[in-house]
Amino acid sequence: MHDLLLRDAAMAAAVLAFFASAWFGWAQERPPAGWKALLAIGSVGSVLVAGATGVLAAVNWSSGSVLDDQARFESYLVIVGIEFGVASLGAGVLALRRGFAYIAPWVCLVVGVHFFPMASVLGNPGFYVLAVVLTVLAFAAPLLAARRGVPVSFATGASAGTVLLLFALWSVAGLLG
């Protein structure tokens, strides 16, 4: 983490925490008793981390980024475009086939896979670990949901939100260390 530029580490934390809050929100679809408060804490905590690190990135915007390189920036845009396109297309197909319960794991899978090329583009080797964890989680969440008798969206959202928030905090720790 120490090799990352300040702006890049702060933006990584901000983006990961922002999307963690979205996953905690997705998990609120019929959560088990006692989980609403924990999910709310995760959401609010994620928003606070995203806000603080977003401000840190903005204040240090001129400090430089790996995305200042035009080729890296273009690769970043292509990866994000493909990610959103594949996630949307798959979600649409699942919705048409009444596979609504599997939209969250599908999106988690696409997000996980997108971190493999993103790790190289952003020069953040920690993203390889994040890619593996989210990809495995996408397959494990439906099994966990069935075993625990909880909605798949809850199992996926709570797990992905937690993983993303932990990686955001890891980025923050890198900024402090």
Q: Per-residue pLDDT for 9 more than 90?
A: yes
The yes-or-no verdict on residue 139 having pLDDT over 80 is yes
Instruction: Give the pLDDT confidence of 38-75 residue by residue, as tens digits.
Output: 999 999 999 999 999 999 999 999 999 999 999 999 99
**Percent of the chain whose pLDDT exceeds 90:** 93
| 161 has a pLDDT exceeding 60 | yes
Q: Which two tokens stand for residue 30?
A: 């019929």
pLDDT above 70 coverage of the chain, percent:
98
Average pLDDT over residues 7-30: 96
Residues 60-99, buried b or exposed e (16+ Cβ, 10 A)? beeeebbbeeeebeebbeebeeebeebbeebbeebeeeee
CB neighbour list of residue 112: distance below 8 Å, 6 or more residues apart: 130, 131, 132, 133, 134, 135, 136, 137, 138
Mean pLDDT of 123-136: 97
Mean pLDDT score across all residues of the chain: 95
- Here the tokens at position 113 are 């896979």
Predicted confidence (pLDDT) per residue in 65-76, tens digit:
999 999 999 999
Look at residue 2 and tell me whether its pLDDT is greater than 60.
no
Q: What is the distance between the alpha carbons of residues 58 and 63, in angstroms, rounded to a whole number?
A: 10
Which tops the pLDDT comparison, 173 or 96? 96
What span, in angstroms and rounded, lies between the C-alpha atoms of 19 and 105? Answer: 15
Q: Residue 3: its pLDDT value, please?
A: 58
